[in-house]
A and B are shown apart, each in its own frame.
Chain A
Amino acid sequence: MDNRFRYLRACAWGGPILLLVTIIFWGIFGHNVPPFSADQSADAIAEQFRPLAQRIKLGMVVELPFSALYLTWGVAITKLMEEIELDNNVLSTLQLWGAGLTTMIFVIPCAGWLGVTYRAETMPSWALQMIYDMWWILFDLAYALTTLQMIPLGICLLSDKRAVPLFPRWMGWFSIWVGLMFFLESFMSFFKGGPFSRSGILNYWTEFTLFFAFMALVSFYLLKAIGRLERETRLGAPRG
Chain B
Amino acid sequence: MRLVAERDSAGQMPALAASSLNLPALAPSIWAFVVADAASFGIFFAVFSSERSVQAAQFAQSAAKLDIRLGLFNTLVLITSSWLVAHALAAARRNNVMGARRLLAGALGVASLFAVCKAFEYSTKVSHGLTPLTNEFFSFYYVLTGVHLLHYAIGFVALLYIRNSVLADGDVDARKLNWLQSGALYWHLVDLLWVFLFPMLYLQRAL
Residues in A lying within 8 Å of B, measured CB to CB: 158, 169-170, 172-174, 176-177, 180-181, 183-184, 187, 190-191, 194-196, 201-202, 206
Contact = CB atoms under 8 A, between A and B. Distances in A.
Interface string B27-63: 0011011001100100110010001000000000000
Interface stretch (B11-19, B82-90, B131-139): B131-139
Interface of B: 29-30, 32-33, 36-37, 40, 43-44, 47, 51, 132-133, 136, 139, 143, 146-147, 150, 154
B40 A173 contact: no
Given A183-B147, A195-B51, A202 B44 contact: yes
B139 A196 contact: yes
Given A180-B150, A181-B40, A191-B139, A202 B32 contact: no
A200 B134 CA distance: 19
Contact of A183 (B30, B47, B136, B150): B150
B36 A177 contact: yes
Contact of B51 (A170, A172, A183, A194): A194
Q: Does more than half of chain A's interface fall in helix, strand or loop, or is it mixed?
A: helix
B202 to A, nearest CB: 21
Nearest to B47: A195
Given A177-B33, A187-B143, 9 more contacts: A172-B29, A173-B32, A173-B33, A180-B150, A183-B147, A187-B132, A187-B146, A190-B133, A195-B51
Contacts of B43: 201-202, 206
B32 A194 contact: no
Given A187-B132, A194-B51, A202-B43, A169 B147 contact: no
A174 B36 contact: yes
The interface residues of chain B, by DSSP majority, are classed as helix
Contacts of B146: 187
A177 B147 CA distance: 13
B101 to A, nearest CB: 24
24 contacts: A170-B32, A173-B29, A173-B30, A173-B36, A174-B32, A174-B36, A177-B33, A180-B150, A180-B154, A183-B147, A183-B150, A187-B132, A187-B139, A190-B132, A190-B133, A190-B139, A194-B136, A195-B47, A196-B139, A196-B143, A201-B43, A202-B43, A202-B47, A206-B40
Contacts of A206: 40, 43
Nearest to B43: A206
Contact of B29 (A158, A195, A202): A158
Nearest to A193: B136
Contacts of A202: 43-44, 47
A180 B36 CA distance: 12
Contacts of B139: 187, 190-191, 194, 196
Q: Which 7 A-B pairs have the closest CB atoms?
A: A170-B32, A169-B29, A173-B33, A173-B32, A195-B47, A177-B36, A177-B33
A194 B47 CA distance: 10
Nearest to A165: B29
A157 to B, nearest CB: 10
A169 B143 CA distance: 30
A202 B44 CA distance: 8
A201 B136 CA distance: 15
Contacts of B143: 184, 187, 196
A187 B40 CA distance: 16
Nearest to A170: B32
A187 B140 CA distance: 10
Contacts of A177: 33, 36-37, 40
